[in-house]
Structure 1
Amino acid sequence: MIEVMIVEDDPLVMEINSKFLKRIEGFILYKAVSNLNDAKKFILIKKPDLILLDVYLPKENGIDLLKWIRRQELDIDIILITADKTIERVQEAFRYGVVDYLIKPFSFERFKESLIQFKDRYNQFNENNIIEQEELDKFISSSTTYQSDFPKGLNKYTYRAILNEIEKSNYRDFTVEILAEKLGIAKTTIRRYLEYMQKENKVEKFIEYGKVGRPQYKYYKL
């Protein structure tokens, strides 16, 4: 299980993020704290794998914790959660090695995509001593591709979450319903992305006729 710390001063937001986290397989909440002193104390007691870090705290700045973690050379990954949309803040965050940047308010779907992407990378790096370029490129490209040519209403995070599920599960064939249940994403959303993947020649759709009832649309990976 991936142990997560939440650093958030707003009790309601902390509760929401904690509930979001519980809905995603493979993660467990280690500690939720509201200030940097408590965060440092519990980090030194037991180092979490991942921190969901707010920036704006009362008389404090979450970036200071990020910098402290880097100075201490602690192997902890950070997802920054903030209402700050300034390019300066975004650049600073990535320069100090955050793995993602969530702008408040965000949906559960976007939150889940971020954590699934982190979990895939975390598991890959912890299960293998070496990695091939093709596999490494998947993690690198996840933050830089699948965005500019997307039609309006689609985004790289949902695209990557769905494609990863299709690839890692090695389905012989699958339905919209199977993916929706597995990923916790609405069926209408899954359907839009599969239609786009079909245009990219990544999946193909076919109709399966049963003995009883309406025919069922299924997909397979090309």
Structure 2
Amino acid sequence: MIEVMIVEDDPMVMEINSKFLKRIEGFILYKAVSNLNDAKKFILIKKPDLILLDVYLPRENGIDLLKWVRGRELDIDIILITADKTIERVQEAFRYGVVDYLIKPFSFERFKESLIQFRDRYNQFKKSDIIEQEELDKFISSSNVSQSENNLPKGVNKYTYRVILDEIEKGNYEVFTAEDLSEKLGIARATVRRYLEYMQRENKVEKFIEYGKVGRPQYKYHKI
């Protein structure tokens, strides 16, 4: 299990993020704290694998914890969770090696996408001491989506697109429905249907109708 620390001063946000985390397989909450002193204390007691770090804390700045972790060369990954949308802050965060940057308010789907991407990379790196370029490219943000995915139309999120497409490509499906993917990924059925319709136009999946003896005909898909 991947052990996670949450650093967040707002009790309601802390509770929401804790509940979000519990809904994603492979993670366990190690400690939730509201200030940097407690964060450092518990990090020194037991180093977590991942920190979900807020930036705006009372009289404190979460970036200081990021710098503290990097300055001590601790093997801890960090995802920033903040309302700060300034380019300066985003650039600073990535320069100090955050693995993702979530801008409040965000949806559970976006949160889940971030955690799943981290989990897949974390587990892959644990498997062996070496990795081939093709496999590595899947975990590098600049290479993680194709050129066509970078040019997705308005309303189609590349992270959601990638999560759904990865499940279609890696899942053991002969045929599947939007409901199958919705249940597996925890993404709303209406959202999955919308992305499948887009993938159909891209010729990545093919849709057909299956007529049953009772009830409405059912739309099913298979990958091309």
Deviation at 1:12, TM superposition (A): 0.9
Distance change (3 Å), C-alpha of 1:136 and 1:203:
farther
Report the Cα offset of residue 165 of structure 1: 1.8
* 1:170 to partner: Cα distance: 2.9
In 1, the alpha carbon distance for the partners of 2:120 and 2:139 equals: 9
Aligned partner of 1:160 in structure 2 is 162
Displacement, 1:148?
4.0
Structure 2: unaligned runs, 5 residues or longer: none
Aligned to 1:123: 123
Match of 2:190 among 188, 191, 208: 188
Q: Which residue of 1 aligns with 2:25?
A: 25
- Local SS of the residue matching 1:53: strand
Are residues 129 and 211 of structure 1, via their aligned partners in 2, closer, same or farther at CA, if it must alter by over 3 Å? Answer: farther
User: Which string of whole-angstrom CA distances, capped at 9 and with x for unpartnered residues, describes residues 120-154 of structure 1?
Assistant: 11111112333222222222223786654111111
Instruction: Sort the Cα spacing of 1:102 and 1:189 in 2 relative to 1 into closer, same or farther, 3 A.
Output: same
1: distance between equivalents of 2:173 and 2:4? 30
1:12 paired to 2:9: no
Per the alignment, residue 88 of structure 1 pairs with 88
CA RMSD after TM alignment: 1.7
More displaced stretch, 191-200 vs 71-80: 191-200
Gaps of 5+ in 1: none
May I ask how many residue pairs the two structures share in their alignment? Answer: 222
Q: Secondary structure at the match of 2:198?
A: helix
Q: Deviations over 1:166-207 (max 9, x none)?
A: 223232221100110111111110011111222222222222
Amino acid at match of 1:22: K
TM-score, with length taken from structure 2: 0.93
Amino acid at match of 2:155: G
- Report the counterpart of residue 48 of structure 1 in structure 2: 48
CA distance in 2, matches of 1:169, 1:14: 33
**Could you tell which deviates more after superposition, 27-36 or 113-122?**
113-122
C-alpha change, 1:129 and 1:196, in structure 2 (3 Å) is farther
Native 8 Å contact 1:146 1:155 kept in 2: no
Are 1:24 and 1:112, in contact at CA under 8 Å, matched by a contact in 2?
yes
Cα drift, residue 118 of structure 1:
1.1
Picking from 194, 198, 201, the partner of 1:199 is: 201
Local SS of the residue matching 2:88: helix
**SS of 2:187's equivalent?**
coil
Higher alpha-carbon deviation: 4-13 or 212-221: 212-221
What is the aligned partner in structure 1 of residue 98 from structure 2?
Answer: 98
Aligned to 2:66: 66
Partner of 1:111: 111
C-alpha distance after superposition, 1:93-131 (max 9, x if no partner)? 001111110111111111111111111111111123332
Partner Cα distance (1:19, 1:114) in 2:
15
